[in-house]
């Protein structure tokens, strides 16, 4: 009985232990959330291997890739590179078509937005 109780207590505490895994550092997670919202709310069209997607469709795919690569990601830039830049299978870059602008890679599009966001964050602190 004593052994069973000790095992039960050990299992109880095991549920409260967190495992250490890589991910975007806590101080950068708001950047990733911003980029995910940016994708979700875009009126641009994202081209993945010749298949066109609106913002919510692209977001669903990028979130799946983010979940898959989470342990390999240690910065917002790596989030962009691994989750939103190119096909894992073909290696082909994803592109974005926005009204009245040239087609760009999603990598360039998201890095540009990240720079704008970081500038706004810095400006709001000053």
| Rounded Cα distance, 50 and 34, in Å | 26
pLDDT at 32 over 80: yes
CA-based nearest residue to 45, from 92, 98, 112, 110: 98
Per-residue pLDDT tens over the stretch 96-119: 999 989 999 999 999 999 999 999
- Residue 20 is predicted with a pLDDT of 39
Q: Domain count of the chain?
A: 1
- Residue 24 is predicted with a pLDDT of 83
CA-based nearest residue to 96, from 33, 39, 41: 39
Give one word for 102, left, alpha or beta, with left for phi > 0 and alpha for psi -120 to 50: beta
CB 106 within 8 A of CB 94: yes
Domain range for 79 is 21-125
Considering the domain boundaries, does residue 2 fall inside one? Answer: no
Considering the domain boundaries, does residue 1 fall inside one? Answer: no
Considering the domain boundaries, does residue 13 fall inside one? Answer: no
pTM of the model: 0.79
CB 75 within 8 A of CB 66: no
pLDDT at 12 over 60: no
Considering the domain boundaries, does residue 3 fall inside one? Answer: no
Considering the domain boundaries, does residue 57 fall inside one? Answer: yes
pLDDT band at 51 (very low <50, low <70, confident <90, very high): very high
Average pLDDT over residues 1-15: 41
Considering the domain boundaries, does residue 5 fall inside one? Answer: no
């Amino acid at each position: 009985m004593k052994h069973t109780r000790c095992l039960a207590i050990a299992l109880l505490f095991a549920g409260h232990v967190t495992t250490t895994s890589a991910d975007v550092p806590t101080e950068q997670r708001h950047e990733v959330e911003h980029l995910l919202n940016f994708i979700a709310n875009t009126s641009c069209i994202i081209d993945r291997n010749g298949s066109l997607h609106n913002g919510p469709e692209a977001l669903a795919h990028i979130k799946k890739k983010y979940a898959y690569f989470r342990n390999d990601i240690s910065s917002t830039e790596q989030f962009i590179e691994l989750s939103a830049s190119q096909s894992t299978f073909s290696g082909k870059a994803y592109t974005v078509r926005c009204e009245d602008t040239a087609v760009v890679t999603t990598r360039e599009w998201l890095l540009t937005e990240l720079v704008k966001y970081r500038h706004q964050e810095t400006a709001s602190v000053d």
